[in-house]
Every structure is written in C-alpha cells, then in structure tokens.
Structure 1
Amino acid sequence: MSAEKQSSAPLHGEKIPEEDPVAPIPHFPSEYKDDIKDELSKIELEVGSLEDEELEESIRLVPKVVRELVSMDDDPTLPVVTFRYFVLSTFFVVLGAVISQIAWFRTTAASYSMFFVQIVSYWLGNLMARVLPNKEINLGLFKFNLNPAPFSIKEHVLITLAASAGATSNLGEIIVSVKDIFYKEQMHPLAAICLMWATMWTGYSFAAIGRSFLLYDPDLIWPSALMQTALYRTLRSEGQSLDISRKQIRVFWVVLLGVFFWTFLPEYAFPFLSSLAVICWFAPHNDTVKFISSGFGGMGFLNFTLNWSNITSTIMVSPWWTQVITFSAFVVSVWILIPIVHFTGVWNGKQFPLMSNRLFLANGTLYPFQRLTTHDGHFDEKVFKELGNVYMSTYNLWGIFFGYATFLSAFVQIFLFGRKKIWTTLQHLRKKERHGFKDRLNVLMSEYEEVPLWWYILLFVCCFTAMIILIFTQDLYLPWWTYVIGVVLGGMTVVPMGFIYAVSAYQVSTGTWNELIYGYMAPGTHPVGSLVYRVVAGQCWYRAQSILQDQKIGHYMKINPRATFMSQLWGNLIGVPINYAVIRWVIDTKRPYLDGTQKDPLGQWSGQAPQSYLNQGIQYGLVGPTRLFQDTIYGPLRWGFLLGILAPVMIFLLHMKFPRAKFNLWHSTIFFSSMENFYGNVSTGPLSSFIGGFFCMYYFFRYKHSTWVKYNYLIGAAADTGLSLAILAIFIFFGSAKIIAMPNWWGNDPDSVEKCYGSGA
C-alpha cells in the first residue's frame, strides 16, 4: 500500500458511511433542509478535525526516530502464516542451526546473520509467489493455499523471526557438550533435546515478566529492532518515493559488495590492515612500545583497525551516549589501569601475565585444574592443598570487581531512574488494563489479540517440571533447590537488564555474579552443576531479551502478537533437534581434538567454548569462592558491591541537583559492565569504533539527519551482511575441505602482522 493511500485511510476499526447521512431527512419541512444540511456539515467537519487531532496526537507520542523509520499505518488483511512461511522458515532455521552449532566448537567460523536471512528470504518469497499455483490443498485435518496472495511483508518478518529464534546454537549445548566431551557422559538423545528445549523456553517464559514493562512503552525504542525494521521497509520500498528507494537499494548493494570483497584483505590476504599499530612503526623493536601500541595482546594505544569485524554495526545502532560510556570504560581499563599495573606491579601485577585470562599457580605457571576432579567428578581437597590456591591476572581481578558492581548497580539504577515508569505500568496492570500507552503503534496493535499470560505460565510450568525430572534422572549434579533459586534470580534480572538494552542496545553481563552465588551455595559440586545454574540464572534472561527484541520488531511491523509468539516456538521446535544432531556429529568425529588428547593440525576444532565453560565451572562450582578468595589478593573485590550501590545514587543526586547537565545519561551499570570486558587478546577496535560512532550517531544524527534516516541503519545492515558472507566464503574456500594458507609477505608477516616485534625480533 502506497504512502499516499495509507495517509488517507481511516483509523483501523472506523467505518466510512456508505451514503450521505444528510440525504434523507424525512421529518423536516423542505425549507429547513438546506439549513440543517449546513449545520450537519459543520458538525461532520468538526468531528473529522477532532479525529485528525487525535491521530496526530497519537503519532506525536511516538519518538521521532521511530516515526522516521516505522510505518504509522497497518493493513490487517495481509497474509501472515502461509505455506511459503513454513517452507522458508524451516529452510532458514535448519541452515542456521547447522552453521551456528558447528561454529560453537570451532576456533573461527562465520556467523549466521539475520540480515542475510532478511535479504535472501525476500528474494525466495517473491520467487515462490511468482511460480507457485493459486491452488487449495486439502489434507483432511487442515487445508491451505499454496499461493494465496503476493508475498507480504508480514510473512517476510515472521520468517526472519523464526530463524532468529531457532537458527542459533542454544543454551543447553553447554551442559550436553561438557558432560560428553570431558566426562564421557552421553545423555539420552530425548533427554538432551528436552534439556535444550527446557532451558531455551524458560527464557521465553521469562519474557512474560518484561513484556508489559519493556515492549509497549514507545520511549523504549530497542535500537537493534529499529535497524531490522529499516531494512524491511527499504527492501520493499515502503513509505517513500520510488527514486529514493532505488537509490537506497543501490547503496545497500554497493556497501554489501564493497565490505564483502574488502574483508578478504584484513581477514586473509592482508592482515596488517586489521591492526594499524602506529607507534610501533617508529620503534618496532622496543618491548615497551610493543606493549603500548599492539592491538594483539597489548594496550592498543592509538591503534586503528580497517577490519569491519573489529567494529561492526554497533556504532550505527548504539546511541552516542552509550558509545561514549563504553569507550570511556575502555580508556580507564586498558589505557590507564593496565599501564599503572604493568609499570608499578601493584596488586601482584608483575607476578602473573597481565594480558592473560588463564588461571595460575602461585609460581605463575598454568593451574592444572583437571587434577582437582576425582574420577566421579567431585572436588579433591588433598590435591587442592598440594597445588595451592588459584590466581589470575590483575586485569581479570578488576573485571570481577566491576562485575560485582554491575549487577547491583542495575537494580539501583532502574529503581532511581525508572521507578515511575514501572509504577505506572503496575497501576495499569492492577486495573486489568492491557496497557496505558495511547501512541499510534499501540493503537494499531490493540486490534490484535494479545498472547494470553497463561500461555507463558503453561510454557514455564512444562519447562520447570521437565528440568526437575532431568535433575533427578540425568546426573546434572545440581541440588534441586539451587535450580529453584536460579529460576527466581534469572527472572528478577529480566526487567532491569532488559530496560538497559532497550534504551542503549548494550547487553549487560551477569555471569560473574551468578557464578559467585552458586559457588557460595554449593561449593565442591561437579562443574556441570555450576553450568546448569549459570544457564538458568544467567543465560536464560539473555534469551528473554532476544525474544523481547524480536517481539518489538513484530510490534513495529504490526504483526499479530500470537503469530509472533508461535513463530518463535516453531523456530525452536525445529532448530533444537538439528542442534543436537550436529553436536553428536562433531563430538563423535572430533572428540580427540575437543578433549585435548590430540592437537588439531588445522587449529580449528579446539573446542575453546566448552573448555572455557568447563574452567569456569571448576573455578566456581568445584573449588568455590570460599577457597578461591581466601588469599588477600582477592580482598579488594568485595568493595565492588558497595560501589555498585553508591555510584548510581551519586549520579541520581547530581541529576536532581543539575537536571540540565544530563547526568541521567551517566549510566554506571553500562560503565561497570564495560569495565568487565577483556581486551587482552584484541584491543584494536574501540578507538576506530569510537571515531566511527561519532560520525554516525553524533555528527550525521544531529547535522545531517535526513541522510542519517535514509542510510544509517541500511549501511550498517549491509556492512554486517557483507562481513558475514565474506567470512563464510573464506571458511568454505580456504579452510574447509582443504586448508589454503596465505603466503607470507610484507602484509602478512609471520613474526608480527602489526610490525610490533619487540626486542626479541
């Protein structure tokens, strides 16, 4: 439907009289008819003006950036769940489930981009609409039409939402894989699949907690959802002239192809471009200069990157204030604290490798964690006393410190700054109102049936029951009562953490806090038990966040909420069995590489993800924080709790004292969470990202806004898609059947691609 036609359409639910209501006036003398017609015409104009004013007011309630990118009209007659939808959603879910699950075990692999799904499903959907016959198929219990109408945008959106839900590796993979690889405990296939469904759908049920607070409020824009919405409308040339749409499509393809071919340089042929260590160019053989300038294992000071994989479309999605906070945290952590520790040795800074995330013995050698586990998976106190306590780099210590501050800060922050919004929503819920928002999008969506709360409750009850049965029958090594606590704490994090993501596109980490809690509740238990708790208390809320984001896309695109919900479940229903089949294939064929008994000559099947989770399970579940933190080196960490409480309070008081200074944007939770990030391996991206973010989200947003609206999200989506396709192509052509290494040359120096050699060269 064209923009011109949409603007003149009545509000959904209104009726236009088929006949002139003033034509038959049988009860008045003819001489008064003209006067009465004039008066009724005036009344009609006044009513029309009132309706126009209400429409304008409902549109004004939508934030400006959303009005510019989201259609304010709806066509409820468009087909939604069709034969085409089931065919294409199944295809993209299966493809993504295979690619994503393989990637989880590999050292490097291509990501499965939803932008890729958006683009290719658009082509295939239109192709099916052209070639399939308009034919009714009757299968007895149900019937459907192969090609009921042109391929609609609502079908298109639902296909991508199903892929987003089911075409990714799932949470239960951690438990299934670690048990099998390191303890040779293979779960029954049905139990493993039910475990993966239960952990994933627990996250879905958590979404019910946050939807009333996070989904309908127009001020919570969900920037990542806006980016996908912009791409949908661009592909279909909606809401603008044909010339502008054609230009946008050309720009999209130019950027996509440009990034695709460019990525072959920094990722394969010319890796020098990935990390431009400028200071090293003037003193390449100096150890201090190498430490300061290198982006690979160094501080990355004044280090730039020309590799989009180190930047990504985050700079085009996250608000400018969020990027300022995250870059400030990077500067404090990597450019200030690290050199202080490195050159002074404070907090045992010189005793353990600073830029390492490994765990060490007191003498600085790697800690042999495997020796701490008995043959039946329990903690070996005798070996622990023999080896001594576990130590880590100072860099990791302050990461834990700020991790403790992050979790408490999120709750204090939302109480101080978001309590009014939450209270208003609670009042509407108490009055049994659907929600109290009267903006244009909520008015349009009110015509569709909402997902009943009991659907979410039933889903949760099924998952909870399944998990309790699995805990008692499948050796998950988790005390059942800790699982209950994990569910409660996981549900509590949905609103505060989701609120932060909805306004900033920044995902706060909660892993450190959850591991600490479990370690105090059940020390000395099998590492798998710690991982089960982590999945439920921490990562299930991440799934709730992704589900809410997809539901926000459905809200922007005016999709029936029930169709969105069922589409997400459909994606999981297909994707999880595919995930399990891939897990079995990888473990059965690559086990010696994954468990470390053999070294993969290609260096790809390292299983670094399951190994990392195992280490954390041993550290917090097996050893436990009580033993871990008995050394004085861990003493300062407890002050992180106090910082997490006091920092947002101080910011709130400053905001109340100086309301125009925008202290409300000084988000302590985002800062603390950013301080948790480990940049010891790659620190070359933040500076380039900050510069790019300045132009995208500050300069163009403020001074070239019309250009920003047309191209910002579009270019970000195109660049990410080009990157994903290029990495996939590099993997297929140079790293799958036969490894083809890039010959060494000046731009691919085997000693240092950055030209940072140090004194050892």
Structure 2
Amino acid sequence: MVAQAPFEGGDILTSPLYTDPRTKDELEQKSTVVDDYESDEKRYVGSVDKEKHEKHEKEGRRTRYDDLEGVEGLEWERGDEQLEAKGDDDDPEYASIPQIVRELVDFEDDTSTPILTWRFYFLSGIFTALGAWLTQMSYFRTTSIPYSIYFVQIASLYFGRLLAGALPKKTIGRGRFSFELNPGPFSVKEHVAIVLAANTGATNNLGDYVLAPLYVYYDAPMNGWLAILFMWSCVFVGFSYASFARKFLIEDPKIVFPLTLQQVALFRSMRDSFEYDSATNKKQMRVFWYGILAFFVWQFLPEYVAPLLSSLTILCWVSSNPNVTFAGSGLGGAGFLNITLDWSNIGSSVIYQPWWVQTNVFAASVLGVWILIPVGWYTGAFNSDLYPIRSFERRTNYFFSYVAYLGTFVSLALFQGPLLWKTAKAQYRGEKLHRDRLNVIMDAYPTVPWTWNVVLFIVPVGVLTGLTVGGTLCMPVYALYIGPAFGAAIVLPMGYIYSVSGYSVSVGYFNEIVYGYIINLGGSRHPVGSLSYRVISGQAWYEAQSMLSDMKASPDQARFSFRPLGHYFHIPPRAVLWAQVWGILIGVPINYATIMWICTSKADFLTGKTSDPNKQWTGQTVISLNNQGIQFALVGPKRLFADPAYQPMLYGFVVGAVAPFLLYGLHRTFPRAKFNLFSLAIFGSAMESFHGNISTGFFTKYILGSVNYLYLRRHKYEFWKTYAYIFGAAADTGLNLNMLIIFLAFSAGKTVTMPHWFGNNAISVERCFPRA
C-alpha cells in the first residue's frame, strides 16, 4: 500500500514528507512581535503574522517558516552569508512546493546555458564505460564491485573545471559539424547531464539473464550484434513508458523523490563552494571530504580486519545455548537485538527515506526475521522440520511478493484514484494541472514530442519481434507482447511508491509465475524463454523508474535510484532524454563485451567444472536464474504449487486484493490513526528481503533512522538541513571507495586473507559459539 494521506487533500503540510522544524510550543505563540534573538552563529529578525497564524490554527494547519514576515520572508544571518527560504505560501507558484525543495533548489534559470557540449560527451562516455564494466562484473562474482554515482559527480566536476580552465577558445570543424573546444565555464547543467548519462548507462544490463545461461549452460551463445540490439531494445521500451507516467509523477510538485534531494544537496554544496565565498558551503564540503576519509578508513575494520564489528551479537555474549545463539546470530540466525557497525549494512537510506517507510520496513523485518523464522526453527512450523530454513525464505518471498504486487494496484485505486483521475482528465484536455514555479520554468523548454516516444517503443518492439520469431529468445511470440503490457501496467503504481518513498519494489517473482502459466498456450518451454520474458517485462519497468527519477532530480546509488535532477536543475526534457539515450548507447556494448569476456575466460568456474580457489567467480546468480527458468518454464507453477509446502503461496494474491479495502475502511473511520501510512507494497517487498540467514542491519538502521527523523529533523532542523544529506553522500562514497580498494588489493588477483584473531575468529566471526 502506498502513502495516501500526504496528498489526499492536496496539502503538503499534512504530508509525512514535510515536518515543520519548530516545536509545538513555538508554533502556539500568539505574540505579534518576536524579540531579536542572538547566539554565536545566527540572529532572527522578524514578526509573526498573528492573523495568518490563527487562520491556520482554525484550519488545522501548521504555520510554516514562510509565514514569518521579515526581510523577504525568513532571513538567517551566518557570518558572511544569508540563507533565504524561497517564495511565500501566499504565492501560488510556491505554495505547493515542499519546504525542503524550496530551500535546496534554485528558482532562477538561464535558458542559454550550454548542456550537450563536447565535454558532456567526452566525460560521460568515460565514466559510463567504466561503470558499465565494473558493475557488470558484479553479476558473476560473489562479492560486488561498487561504482558510486557520487564518484561520477565529484570527479566530473573537477575534470570539467580543468577542461574549462585549460583549453583555448577555438572552433573545431565547420558548419553543422563544428563545436567549441571551450564553450565557457563548466555549467551545472553540463555537470548534471553527465551524471544522468552515467546513472543510466553505468550499470549492468538485465540482458545478462539471457546471454550468460545461453553461453554457459546451453552452448548457444547469441550473435553479438543481435545481443546488443536485444539489450538496447529492452531499455528503450522502458524509456517510452516513462513518458506515460511523467504527468502523474514528475509535474506534481508534492512528489519529491526522496533520494533525489540527497543528490541535489551535494550538487549545490559542491558547486557553491567553488563559485561563492560561503561559510556554510565551505563547512558542508569539509564535512563531505572528512566524511569520505573517515568512512573509507573505518570500513577496513568491518569489511576486512575485524568482521566482528559487522555483527555484534549481544545474546551470544551472554549465553552459549544453541537456541539463544540462533536467536542472536546475525549470520545464520534471527539477529535479535543484533547491532552492526558496518555501513554496508546500513546505507544512507536512513537519511533520505521517510520515517514511515523505514517503519514499514522494520515492521516487516520484525515479523519475518524475529517472529516467523524463529517459530519455524524452534517448532518445525511451515514444514521447517522437513525443509531447510533457506527453503522457507524462498516460500515467503513468493507469498509476500504477490501481496505487494496486487496490493499496490488496489491501494492506488482506493487512495489515489481521485487525484489520478483528475490528472488524467487534465492531460486528455490538454490542460496544465500544476502551475508551481518549477513547472513554470520548465514551460520555457519544448517537451519531448509524442512521436519520439512512439519511435522509442515501435522500433525496439520490432527488433524484439524479429529476435523472437527467429528463435533467438527461446519463447513464443505471443509472450513477447504480454511482457511489455505488464511492464507498462506497473509503471504508474510502482513508480508512485518509489517517488514518495525512495523504495523500489521488485517485480521478478510475479513475472516468473505469469510466464509459467501463459507458456501453457503453446510454444517452446526452454528455460531461457522464461528469463527472456523477465528481462523484457522487468527491464522496461526498471528503466522507466530510473528515467523518471533522473527526470525529477537524482540518480539512485544502487541502480534504480531518477525529471528530478532534470526538473530541479531546469534541464530541458529533450536534453534529459538524450543524455539517458547516450548513456545506454555507450553502456550496453561495454556490458556485452564484459559478459562475453567473463563467460569465455571463466567458463569452467561458472559451470562448476573447476573450483575457483578465490571463491569469487562462482556464477551463483547465473546458477540461480537458470534454476528459476527450469522451475517455471519446464516444471511450471501448476506442478510447483501442488507441493503442500508451496500451496499457501498463491493466497498472497488474495491478501493483496482484500487487505487494502480493510486498511481503507480503517483509515476513513479512524483518520488520526494513520492506517493510510501502512504500505502493503513496501511491507510485502521488505518481507521478501531476508537473504538466507543474513539478518544483521535492520535493527541498527531503524535506530539511526528514528534518531535522524524524530530528533535531528524535528529539533535540530537547521543543522539537519545543512549536513544530513551531505553526510549520507559522504558515507556512501567512502564505503564504495573502500570496497573498490579492498577488491583490487585483496581479491582481484591473488586472494589475501586476514589472519585470524579475536575480531576475525576462524569458526565464527561474530563469536557465536553454541554448546555441542
């Protein structure tokens, strides 16, 4: 279920995405004059508009910063600078824009700023190719090779400024085929476009689901050009889907894409530290660089020297009883009260994901890991006495993925239906529903013609049809047209969840079962056919999600992290689209070359013929996907779910269809109880994320997330606004840099293991030693 109430009445002040930074007592003050307040760093001068405050009280609203009248609204003085809250609630162009956006985003624009310069193509090409290579290798390895988008953001700024300062002003070429060697200062729009391209292309491509099994297990490698066309086509279909959801998710100013704001904060701080003599920006960048250094150095401890720090098992320290150690162990048990000091188990989602999202995830983790897993372990329930705990995880994954999938559609219809219908009617009539300042700025630029989206859909589908008819994709033609249809259907509901929560819902399990049933209509039951269907349907959705978030303001560090970057930095829609297309044109051939290099040079490791002494090139993902293809294409879901252990899994669809009506009724009856903030999609998706006995992290994440939102954001808002997103970006960057160095130094060539000691016990790194 999605976050309904925040937008139900169209008032951002009721949204969990907005938290007034002042205390209740401060808001209830009725005095018409606020005396000058002085401290070491800041001074507020202004007065409270009493009439406006009382009016808002009667309406049940909170008075916001912009309701305080002073010099141009709110004015803070910190040494040599002024930080001003932009706009006013009485101005319709600003009233609907969330406060944090009004504080981070610039509302002025220069339409003459160059964007797609040769520097863009040069730098984005390099960073995209590097990321596509590194990330694609992770698909085949036991340990992943990180490629942080923050690295691209940092490095491209320095290289862009270097090129702008060193190269002469000179025209290269003639006429239409000419360009300026130095088009002027390295603009923020160039900078953002480079990151957009890399965020889209510097990833692995889901085409590896098909190419690797064909090569490794069936000795039927796909022709190189056909493989690249296949990978391109699946991505571009997703691009066309994104345009459908743009009116619903991008132009609505209340939908902020939480992860986007972290990227915006870093962009602004980095560039302002160069361009303005701002004390705050200098402090922000010091926090950023010191944060990178601190986390880079620290991560050597939990990742290599002392893995004990990654899973501090309190229960194991007080008892060696096997039942107790299972409950406490985070590496093989339930992880009850387990604490982690490893940032790779935490991540910056504790900062950018709304607290109601983190509460949904924590509740799911408690139910799945602290309740259901121990019940199965101790009592033999759920056939746990017959099947290993890993099998129970597999079954819960199916059940809750079905709950999340169908529950998303029903919840969206119940809670957001009127708003979506209003938007759809406005779009059909050619009306402009949102007239906020950001949309007004973007109106100066031509939109992407609908014919471009038609081409982005028709041409790739034509290519995929040819590949299917020719037998290359090992599936019947009718399945090809069903796959994109399901991919298109989920863009709006799943995109809505991601846009308000920063949480990405997986759709793979549903695509598996759909193919398993439709293949009964006839055609090849080759296992790779199931994987081809998953790629076509799934890649289209994931690329649509990634493109939407790039449109709004920022890319996700993981992969699916978004017109936000384009919207918040006022980049023309056509330039955003081309930057993304350029990233894919560069990234996919690199993906293909990497896949073929690994399949050729590591084939014996991937098939299991030879054991990799480093235990890295195991191809565990390839093995798992091939097994899934066999299960759903050859065996089929009908026979699979005939097993008594798997029969209850299909009831997930029933729960997903019925539960939203119950929650909607409770919300309408008890609106103050916030039943609308219970999200079936997020809860169900989190329930399927218990990764085979690895249960450390979620308890620590919830503690930190609660401190971040309930204390820092509520009571130390100025501090939080200035440093929270910067800190999160620094921590993630330091982690990724550390993991890259560890990979290159200790496992890329010869494996160098850490000697065993107290913090790296040979039997149990977390020192859980149950009695025999």
**TM-score greater than 0.5 by the shorter chain:** yes
Task: Trace 1:256-267 onto structure 2 (pairs within 5 A).
Answer: 256-267=292-303
1:742 aligned partner: 754
What do residues 313-340 of structure 1 show as CA deviations (whole Å, max 9, x unaligned)?
1111110000001000000111111111
Q: Is residue 270 of structure 1 aligned with residue 306 of structure 2?
A: yes
Alignment correspondent of 1:567: 579
Question: How big is the shift at 1:55?
Answer: 8.7
Q: Cα gap change, 1:350/1:67 in structure 2, threshold over 3 Å: closer, same or farther?
A: same
In the alignment, the residues of structure 2 paired with residue 576 and residue 475 of structure 1 have an alpha-carbon distance, to the nearest angstrom, of 18
Cα distance change of structure 1 residues 602 and 139 upon mapping to structure 2, 3 Å threshold: farther
Relative to structure 1, the CA distance from residue 139 to residue 681 in structure 2 (aligned partners, 3 Å threshold; closer, same or farther) is farther
1:427: how far off?
1.3
Name the residue aligned to 2:716. Answer: 704
* Distance in 2 (alpha carbons) for counterparts of 1:556 and 1:141: 31
Give every structure 1 segment of 4 or more consecutive aligned residues whose post-TM-superposition deviation is greater than 4 Å. 52-55, 238-241
Change in 2 beyond 3 A, CA 1:53/1:739: closer
Coordinate RMSD, CA, aligned: 1.6
Q: Work out which of the residue numbers 690, 702, 723 in structure 2 matches 1:678.
A: 690
The C-alpha deviation readout for 1:646-681, integer Å capped at 9, x for no partner, is 111111111111222222111122111211212324
1:346 aligns with 2:358: no
Instruction: Indicate conservation of the 8 Å contact 2:93/2:435, yes or no.
Output: yes
Counterpart AA for 1:244: T
Report what 2:541 is aligned to: 541
Residues 171, 540 of structure 1: 8 Å contact kept: no
**Which residue number corresponds to residue 77 of structure 2?**
none
Following superposition, the deviation at residue 611 of structure 1 comes to 1.4
> Given the alignment of the two structures, is residue 514 of structure 1 paired with residue 511 of structure 2, yes or no?
yes
SS state of the match for residue 243, structure 2? helix
| Match among 458, 462, 466 for residue 465 of structure 1 | 462
In structure 2, the partner of 1:99 is: 134
Measured in 2, the distance between the counterparts of 1:747 and 1:180 equals: 42
Mean Cα deviation higher: 316-325 or 692-701: 692-701
Following superposition, the deviation at residue 241 of structure 1 comes to 6.6
Counterpart mapping for 1:359-378 below 5 A: none
CA shift for structure 1 position 613: 1.2
The match for 1:722 is 734
- Deviation, structure 1 residue 413: 0.7
Structure 2 Cα separation of the partners of residues 183 and 694 of structure 1: 50
Q: 1:69-125 CA deviation, whole Å, 9 max, x = no partner?
A: 222222222221112111101110111111111121111132111011001111111
Alpha-carbon distance in structure 2 between the residues aligned to 1:127 and 1:704: 38
Alignment of 1:646 with 2:646, yes or no, is no
Aligned residue pairs total 670
Q: What per-residue deviation string (whole Å, max 9, x for no partner) do you get for residues 565-619 of structure 1?
A: 0010001111111111111111111000011111101001111121121111111
CA distance in 2, matches of 1:543, 1:288: 45
Q: Tell me the equivalent position of 1:456.
A: 453
**1:378 matched residue in structure 2:** none
2:291 equivalent to 1:255: yes
- What is the rounded CA distance, in whole Å, between the counterparts of 1:632 and 1:746 in structure 2? 45
Q: Distance in 2 between matches of 1:54 and 1:267?
A: 48
The one-letter code matched in structure 2 to 1:449 is: P
- Is 1:445 aligned to 2:481, yes or no? no
2:629 to 610, 617, 635: 617
Distance 1:681 1:122 in 2: 42
Counterparts of 2:642 and 2:144, CA distance in 1: 40
Amino acid at match of 1:707: F
Shift of 1:240: 8.5
Distance in 2 (CA, whole Å) between partners of 1:309 and 1:599 is: 28
8 Å CA contact 1:61, 1:438 repeated in 2: no
CA distance in 1, matches of 2:512, 2:309: 38
> Secondary structure at the residue paired with 1:256?
helix
Matched, 1:487 2:487: no
Superposed CA deviations along residues 45-65 of structure 1, whole A, max 9, x for unmatched, are xxxxxxx98993311221112
Q: 2:119 aligns to what? A: 84
Question: How much does 1:634 deviate?
Answer: 2.4
Residue 421 (structure 2) aligns with: 423
User: Partners of 1:395 and 1:578 in 2: how far apart?
Assistant: 35
Contact 1:59 1:72 survives alignment (8 Å):
no
Distance 1:241 1:422, change over 3 A: farther
Matches of 1:421 and 1:700, distance apart in 2: 33
Tell me the equivalent position of 1:594: 606
The one-letter code sitting in structure 2 at the alignment partner of 1:399 is N
Question: Aligned partner of 2:533: which letter?
Answer: Y
Pair 1:240–1:281, CA change in 2 (3 A):
farther
Alignment check: 8 A CA contact 2:127 2:198 kept = yes
Corresponding position of 1:525: 525
Deviates more, 1:233-242 or 1:712-721: 233-242
Residue 297 (1) aligns with residue 332 (2) = yes
Between the aligned partners of 1:108 and 1:538, the Cα distance in structure 2 is 24
Distance (Å, rounded) in 2 between the aligned partners of 1:240 and 1:706: 20
Residue 716 of structure 1: how far off its partner (Å): 0.7
Give the whole-Å Cα distance in 2 for the aligned partners of 1:678 and 1:438.
43
1:474, CA displacement in angstroms? 4.3
Residues 1:205 and 2:240 aligned together: yes
Contact 2:614/2:750, CA 8 A, preserved across alignment:
no
Distance in 1, matches of 2:518 and 2:294, equals 53
1:498-547 CA distance string (max 9 Å, x none) = 00000011111221211111111115811100011111222320111011
Aligned to 1:261, what secondary structure does the other structure show?
helix
* 2:147 paired with 1:112: yes
- Report the counterpart of residue 172 of structure 1 in structure 2: 207
Residues 120-139 of structure 1: pairs in structure 2 closer than 5 A: 120-139=155-174
Worse overlay, 138-147 or 224-233: 138-147
How far off is 1:730 after superposition?
A: 0.5
**Contact conserved, 1:172 with 1:200, CA < 8 A, in 2?**
no
Contact 2:403 2:680 in 1 (8 A): no
Q: Which amino acid aligns with 1:503?
A: V
SS, match of residue 187 in structure 1: coil
> Counterpart amino acid of 2:542?
Y
SS at match of 2:179: strand
In structure 1, C-alpha distance between the alignment counterparts of 2:95 and 2:182, rounded to whole Å: 38
Counterpart pick for 2:639 among 605, 616, 627: 627
| Structure 1 unaligned residues grouped into runs of 5+ | 1-51, 357-392
Question: 1:72: which partner in 2?
Answer: 107
- TM normalised by structure 2 equals 0.85
What CA deviation, in whole Å up to 9, does each residue of 1:724-760 have, x standing for no partner? 0000001111111222111111111110000012234
The letter for the 2-side match of 1:577 is: P
Are the equivalent residues in 2 in contact too, given 1:334–1:679 (CA < 8 A)? Answer: no
Letter in 1 for 2:426: H
Question: Which structure has the greater CA radius of gyration?
Answer: 1
Task: Map Cα deviations across residues 702-740 of structure 1 (whole Å, 9 max, x no partner).
Answer: 111111111111111111010000000011111112221
Q: What amino acid is aligned across from residue 679 of structure 2 in structure 1?
A: H
Whole-angstrom distance in 1 between the partners of 2:424 and 2:741: 50
CA distance in 2, matches of 1:128, 1:666: 50
Normalising by structure 1, what TM-score? 0.86
Q: Deviations over 1:363-384 (max 9, x none)?
A: xxxxxxxxxxxxxxxxxxxxxx
Counterpart contact for 1:396–1:678, Cα < 8 Å: no
Partner of 1:390: none
Q: Which segments of 5 or more consecutive residues in structure 2 lack a partner in the other structure? A: 1-86, 553-564
SS class of match (1:305): coil
Corresponding residue of 1:14: none
The one-letter amino acid paired with 2:536 is V
Identical counterparts, % of pairs: 46
Q: Which moved more, 1:533-542 or 1:495-504?
A: 533-542
Q: Aligned partners of 1:135, 1:696: CA distance in 2, in Å?
A: 51
Q: Which among 399, 405, 408 is matched to residue 406 of structure 2?
A: 408
The answer to whether structure 1 residue 327 and structure 2 residue 362 are counterparts is yes
How far apart are the structure 2 equivalents of 1:301 and 1:619?
34
